[in-house]
Amino acid sequence: MGVRVAGPTHRFAAMGEHAIEAVGLHRSYRSRTGWLRPQRREVHAVAGVDLTVGHGELFGLLGPNGAGKTTTIKLLNTLLIPTGGEARICGFDVVRQTREVRRRIGYVFGGDRGLYDRLSARDNLRYFAELYGVPGREQKRRIAELFELVRLTGREDDRVEGYSRGMRQRLHIARGLLHRPRVLFLDEPSIGVDPVAARELRQTVADLAATGTTVLLTTHYMAEADELCGRIAVIAGGRIQALGTPAELRHHADGRRVLEVQAYGVTDGQLAAIRARPGVREVSLAVHGAAQVLGVQSDAGVDVQADVLRELDGVRLGRVTARQPTLEDAYVAIVNRAAEPTPVAGPVPA
């Protein structure tokens, strides 16, 4: 079982006290395969999410692919109807008061899609301004203001098909802000964006939060969440596994040390063997270009370096470093714990 972080309350706070409130949010999908002997499968994409986000807060929802981040956002922004639980945005129910919710939210997702490529950036914003009911006399000023905010001034009349991914992403943000939403959902906005553009995006998001807009940001870039978010929820397996400030989340890796080994050609068998060594808590393997970076978290009092190097006998090795755990290590620990067959619901740091 995952950890319910907001408590099992089924009563919402006073109307609109929080920007976002979700209680026991569920969403499952049914699929059918085969004709002669049809097999039905039910997938629980979101399996009981409880969370509250205050007005003006920049809140991060962090998790691996398929953890339920996008589904949670789509349940909160009315694109999907939950199969269980309830959610409110600024006090309005996402199922029954859809239009009220939609007036107050903006939604921006990452990637190349979501814009009319053959129209200019200005035409895109003009159309969405009409859709979102921005008064005609205000549209011109608002659109110019937003081009300024997302640093696209001078490129307004270019067709979107000629935009770089970073520029599209900034245009997306401008589109999401046209009607001055009180809550902005940002679903992996920096995916596929180069580091410079990602930094500009982060600056734009930080500026927004500074103006009092509530932002719910999903990402799987730990550094991004660490830099921007006041609080972070780690979601895995459709449940929130941990929630707190970045400093609080780091406690999930307390009492551990991390050994990092740069290697070339580590096999699954070797990984399993390292995982089985006494004192080893987590093992991760990331690929950076041609090299692999093996991360081994162990109990702080156990030096596993000799054991790990012995298991890697025959593998070409690069740099070997030992360090204190970071937020990313805490995240890996939380996600791996959630993936275990019988996960233990541990206490969540306050």
Partner 1 sequence: MIAVGALLHVKQLSRSPFEIAIALFVPVVQATLAVYLFRAGGEPDRLLEAAVGAGLMGVWSTVLFGSGGAIQNQRWQGTLEMIMLAPRSPALVLLPVTLATGITGTYAMLATLAWGRLLYGIPLDFAHPVAFPVAVAGCIAGLGMFGLLLASSFVLLRHANALANMLEYPIWLVSGMLVPVTALPGWTGPVAAVLPTTWGARAVHEAASGGPVWPALAVCLAISLACLAAGWVLMTYVERRARVTATLALA
Chain positions contacting partner 1, by CB under 8 A: 29, 77-81, 99-100, 102-103, 107, 109, 111, 113-119, 123, 126-128, 130-133, 175
> Rounded CA gap, 97 and 107, in Å?
17
Least distance to partner 1, CB of residue 102, Å: 4
Of 19, 85, 11, 10, the residue nearest 47 (C-alpha): 85
Least distance to partner 1, CB of residue 143, Å: 13
Please report the beta strands in the chain, taking only residues with DSSP state E, as ranges in sequence order: 20-33, 39-53, 58-62, 84-89, 92-93, 105-109, 183-187, 214-219, 231-236, 239-244, 256-264, 280-288, 291-299, 316-323
> Rounded CA gap, 146 and 106, in Å?
14
Closer CB to partner 1, residue 161 or residue 207?
Answer: 161
Closer CB to partner 1, residue 132 or residue 221?
Answer: 132
Closer CB to partner 1, residue 175 or residue 220?
Answer: 175
Least distance to partner 1, CB of residue 254, Å: 38
Closer CB to partner 1, residue 156 or residue 227?
Answer: 156
Distance (Å) of CA 218 to CA 123, 159, 186, 214, 249: 28, 28, 6, 13, 16
Closer CB to partner 1, residue 105 or residue 333?
Answer: 105
Phi/psi at 82 (5° precision):
-65, 150
Least distance to partner 1, CB of residue 110, Å: 11
Closer CB to partner 1, residue 110 or residue 237?
Answer: 110
Phi/psi at 220 (5° precision):
-115, 20
Altogether, the residues listed in the chain come to a count of 350
DSSP result, 306-334: HHHHHHTTTSEEEEEEEE---HHHHHHHH
122-143 burial, b for 16+ CB within 10 Å, e for fewer?
Answer: bebbbebbeebebeeeeeeebb
Closer CB to partner 1, residue 105 or residue 274?
Answer: 105
Least distance to partner 1, CB of residue 116, Å: 5
Phi/psi at 45 (5° precision):
-75, -40
> Rounded CA gap, 235 and 238, in Å?
6
Closer CB to partner 1, residue 124 or residue 298?
Answer: 124
Least distance to partner 1, CB of residue 268, Å: 29
Closer CB to partner 1, residue 24 or residue 106?
Answer: 106
Number of neighbours of residue 208 by Cβ within 10 angstroms = 21
> CB neighbours of 226 closer than 8 A, spacing ≥ 6?
232, 246, 327
Least distance to partner 1, CB of residue 104, Å: 9
Query: Residue 17: helix, strand or coil by DSSP?
Result: coil
Tokens of 87: 């959610």
The residue written with tokens 């541990």 in the block is: 346
Least distance to partner 1, CB of residue 96, Å: 11
Least distance to partner 1, CB of residue 112, Å: 8
